[in-house]
């Protein structure tokens, strides 16, 4: 069998769209599809859509007499998901999907080896191998993905830490205010109730209700729908109240990061996801909060803001952007030995295209 025909498949399951791609064993993209995730049609239908796309990509002629031979599939799924069994938990944006055996369903439908990770773990793997951690040689790091909620991925001593029971990475549901807002998980004051896109919207509404702020009140008033990006534009334009909402987000995020550092003493914390693009708006309050809430971080200060290095925790923005999860999915077959070791020499951009 020619090496030229060997490919891997990556799948990124999202609440709105699902992305499927095939790559050669040097991680060069050969073809990809983006399809709507038919959440209401149920998980079996969506797995059917994925498999149809995979087969269609595999059957695309790659040249004279060439056929693709798939070695395996890497898939990133929203959590909570039991990574030991591949069974979905109670997912916020997937009503009725809890208890679905995603892993088994994909194996059964394709007959291929399937490597399953949470989307947050997949993003962490990508930042570790191809992004913020790429040139560091570090064996341990954490990544927080701040989108609608807060996901997290942990790399410890060169391996993804899935937890004893496959449920690690739910730092978004760690409590930072015991008497805080009621979360969909049943607890109160979870990190993602404050330091997330939805959290920022709540914070901006609260600031608008209690401060003299014509512009922010206009944006958030009544039942107005608005996005964190709109609030960020207001803050960037100098609106102090909008800036205050981001300051507060940074403070809460800093508590979550401080707890991670105090518990795990990690050399690198990467912050990604859509809200992370507003980094300059919350980074000052975030660093202040980390210093205030982590003794370990204080003891290792003070140059951590300036450069990555030995002897202190470095906290930085993700570098791969929204494609991190996809890139991580593409890396999974390599990290799990389905592909003979390669140098992963292609740049992240080449893999993303």
Question: Which residues lie near Zn ion (CB under 5 A)?
Answer: 173, 183, 185, 187, 190
Neighbouring residues of 180: CB distance < 8 A, sequence distance ≥ 6 = 188, 189, 190, 193, 194
Residue 183 Cβ, how far from Zn ion at the closest point, in Å?
3
Residue 275 Cβ, how far from Zn ion at the closest point, in Å?
17
- For 321, phi then psi, to 5°, come to 70, -160
Residue 204 Cβ, how far from Zn ion at the closest point, in Å?
20
Of 119 and 192, CB closest to Zn ion: 192
Residue 66 Cβ, how far from Zn ion at the closest point, in Å?
49
Paired tokens of 185? 């998980």
Q: What residue spans of the chain are helical by DSSP H?
A: 43-58, 102-110, 119-129, 197-210, 214-220, 228-236, 240-264, 279-293, 295-300, 324-335, 348-352
Of 185 and 296, CB closest to Zn ion: 185
Residue 233 Cβ, how far from Zn ion at the closest point, in Å?
29
Q: Is 129 exposed, middle or buried (0-12, 13-18, 19+ CB in 10 A)?
A: middle
Of 11 and 190, CB closest to Zn ion: 190
Of 110 and 174, CB closest to Zn ion: 174
Confirm if 14 and 49 have CB atoms less than 8 A apart: no
Question: Sign of the C-alpha dihedral, residues 286, 287, 291, 292?
Answer: negative
Residue 90 Cβ, how far from Zn ion at the closest point, in Å?
11
Of 80 and 272, CB closest to Zn ion: 80
Report the distance separating Cα 283 and Cα 75, nearest Å.
32
Of 7 and 190, CB closest to Zn ion: 190
Paired tokens of 296? 């370990």
Paired tokens of 152? 């997290």
In the β-sheet with 6-13, what is the strand arrangement from edge to edge? 29-36, 17-24, 6-13, 69-77, 114-118
Of 155 and 253, CB closest to Zn ion: 253
Residue 148 Cβ, how far from Zn ion at the closest point, in Å?
13
Neighbouring residues of 14: CB distance < 8 A, sequence distance ≥ 6 = 37, 78, 119
Residue 185 Cβ, how far from Zn ion at the closest point, in Å?
3
Of 32 and 187, CB closest to Zn ion: 187
Report the distance separating Cα 325 and Cα 327, nearest Å.
5
**Other beta carbons within 10 Å of 35:** 14
């Amino acid at each position: 069998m020619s090496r030229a025909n060997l490919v891997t498949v990556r799948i990124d399951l999202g609440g709105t769209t699902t992305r499927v791609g095939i790559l050669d064993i040097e991680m060069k993209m050969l073809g990809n599809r983006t399809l709507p995730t038919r959440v209401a049609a149920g998980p079996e239908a969506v797995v059917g859509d994925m498999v149809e796309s995979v087969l269609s990509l595999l059957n695309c002629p790659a040249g004279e007499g060439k056929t693709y031979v798939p070695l395996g599939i890497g898939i990133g799924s929203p959590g909570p998901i039991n990574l030991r069994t591949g069974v979905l938990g109670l997912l916020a944006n997937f009503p009725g999907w809890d208890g679905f055996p995603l892993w088994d369903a994909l194996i059964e439908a394709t007959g291929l080896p399937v490597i399953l990770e949470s989307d947050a773990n997949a993003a962490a793997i990508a930042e570790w191998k191809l992004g913020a951690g790429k040139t560091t040689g570090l064996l341990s790091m954490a990544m927080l993905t701040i989108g609608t909620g807060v996901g997290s991925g942990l790399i410890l001593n060169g391996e993804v830490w899935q937890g004893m029971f496959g449920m690690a990475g739910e730092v978004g549901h760690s409590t930072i205010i015991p008497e805080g807002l009621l979360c969909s998980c049943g607890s109160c004051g979870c990190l993602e109730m404050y330091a997330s896109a939805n959290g920022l919207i709540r914070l901006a509404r609260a600031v608008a209700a209690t401060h003299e702020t014509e512009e922010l009140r206009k944006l958030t008033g009544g039942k107005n729908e608005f996005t964190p990006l709109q609030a960020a534009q207001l803050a960037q334009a100098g609106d102090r109240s909008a800036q205050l909402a981001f300051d507060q987000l940074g403070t809460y995020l800093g508590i979550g990061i401080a707890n991670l550092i105090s518990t795990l003493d990690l050399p690198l914390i990467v912050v990604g996801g859509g809200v992370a693009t507003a980094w300059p708006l919350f980074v000052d309050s975030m660093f202040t909060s980390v210093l205030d809430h982590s003794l370990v971080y204080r003891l290792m200060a003070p140059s951590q803001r300036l450069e990555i290095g030995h002897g202190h925790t470095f906290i930085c923005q993700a570098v791969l952007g929204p494609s991190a999860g996809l890139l991580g999915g593409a890396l999974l077959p390599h990290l799990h030995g389905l592909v003979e070791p390669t140098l992963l020499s292609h740049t992240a951009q080449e893999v993303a295209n």
